[in-house]
Amino acid sequence: MELNAKKLERISKFIYYSISISLCIFLVLLSGNIIDDLDSAVLAPMPTQFENKQLLGKIDKQISAQNIEIDNLNSQRESIEKTIAIARQNYANEKESFENWLKTRKTLGSPDKDREVTDRAKKLDEYYKVEQDWRAQLADLESKTQKIEQLRNKQQTLLDEEKERAQDVYVVEYKYYELKVFLIRLLFVAPVLGLGIFFVVRFRNHKFWPLFFGFTLFSLYAFFFGLVPYLPSYGGYVRSTVGILMSVFLGYYAIKNIRKYIETKQEELKTSTQVRAKNVQQAVAEKALDNHYCPSCGKDFIIKTWDAPLKNADTNYKLVTNFCRYCGLELFKNCHTCGNKNFVHLPYCASCGTATLGVSDQRADNLTV
């Protein structure tokens, strides 16, 4: 399959960017393994490292003993409550029986002087006394349980305070750990980022630029994904400060280069059109013709419909000017061999193929293919 220049250019760009991206991907994978190994050099702290294990062990034992004692007291209380329920039921049954007996018994004497009545009343009192004794024991158990629970709550408070103290120490140590991890990553990422910036500045027009561009993409990934997420926050002050410094640095660099480019173009436009024509490269000329702008000042050379038409202009070129109206650079000229009008900054005549097109003759050695 034959390829024309435009297809070849598109395929070349695709291949170049594919090389850059593939190189970036493999560098990312390699750097991931390297950074993981570097991170393992510093062990992350654990909250249990900063606890007073002896004190916590002692408190745990006391709380466990108190829990066992409380469980035993609760078991005893449940047993006593069951006994009280039985005693209460016995008392109720005996009382009901006594009252029924009083109603049905017929006696000539006074009931309160009757010996049998007195005996049954004493027996009823004994049932009530048994219930009261058990209630006294229950109250004593509840008092003991309450005291032990108070002691257990105090021990639990001490336990919580110790764990809170250990957690506070852990938070401080973890910040130091994050700072160590960040510094380790910085030692790896900073040279990579520096090389990436150096490659962009010095080798962006190199013939092997796809390799340098791939490394630059990797350096950006290493910075934004391998370093920035591990940047200590300290309440957001550090990250905000770094963002401000980066904005100032990049802004200064961008403004400086834009101003430098504008000044260079202004100085370039002060030179003669012949000198500027010699410095126009073929790639720039092709792009300028495709997008109909002057390769020197970048202004559109198409004549608008409300502009005055050119005199004696060819029909095909009646909407373009031979010279740039803004900087005076010659744009179109008739071939001295066949007379066909051509874009001056391309090397050959579109009609006869002659390689001498006026201005192009003078800069033939400066063309970049």
DSSP state string for 182-205: HHHHHHHHHHHHHHHHHHHHHHTT
Torsion of CA 310, 314, 318, 320, to 10 degrees: -90
Spatial CA neighbour of 64 closest among 155, 136, 146, 195? 155
In which band, very low, low, confident or very high, does the pLDDT at 369 lie, cut at 50, 70 and 90?
very low
Q: Helices then strands (H, E): number in the chain?
A: 8, 2
Q: How far is CA 77 from CA 74, 86, 150, 153, in A?
A: 5, 14, 18, 21
If phi over 0 gives left and psi between -120 and 50 gives alpha, with beta otherwise, what is residue 304?
beta
- Residue 285 near residue 269, CB atoms below 8 Å: no
Chain segment 235-286, per-residue pLDDT in tens: 566 667 777 887 888 788 778 878 887 777 777 666 666 666 666 666 677 7
Written in H, E and C, the secondary structure of 217-238 is HHHHHHHHHHCHHHCCCCCCHH
Residue 318 DSSP symbol: T
Q: How are the residues of the chain apportioned to helix, strand and coil, as percentages rounded to the nearest 5?
A: 70, 5, 25
Six-digit token pair at 347?
A: 């090397």
The pair phi, psi for residue 323, each rounded to 5°, is -125, 150
In which band, very low, low, confident or very high, does the pLDDT at 108 lie, cut at 50, 70 and 90?
very low
- Of residues 159 and 299, more confidently modeled: 159
Spatial CA neighbour of 167 closest among 55, 47, 52, 54? 47
In which band, very low, low, confident or very high, does the pLDDT at 103 lie, cut at 50, 70 and 90?
low
Q: Residue 359's pLDDT is what?
A: 46
- Of residues 7 and 344, more confidently modeled: 344
For the segment 68-91, the average pLDDT, to the nearest whole number, is: 85
- Of residues 272 and 203, more confidently modeled: 203
The pair phi, psi for residue 333, each rounded to 5°, is -155, 150
- Of residues 291 and 100, more confidently modeled: 291
- Residue 10 near residue 203, CB atoms below 8 Å: no
Six-digit token pair at 327?
A: 């900087």
- Of residues 6 and 247, more confidently modeled: 247
Spatial CA neighbour of 304 closest among 292, 290, 287? 292
Average pLDDT, the chain: 77
- Residue 292 near residue 302, CB atoms below 8 Å: yes
Look at residue 100 and tell me whether its pLDDT is greater than 70.
Answer: no
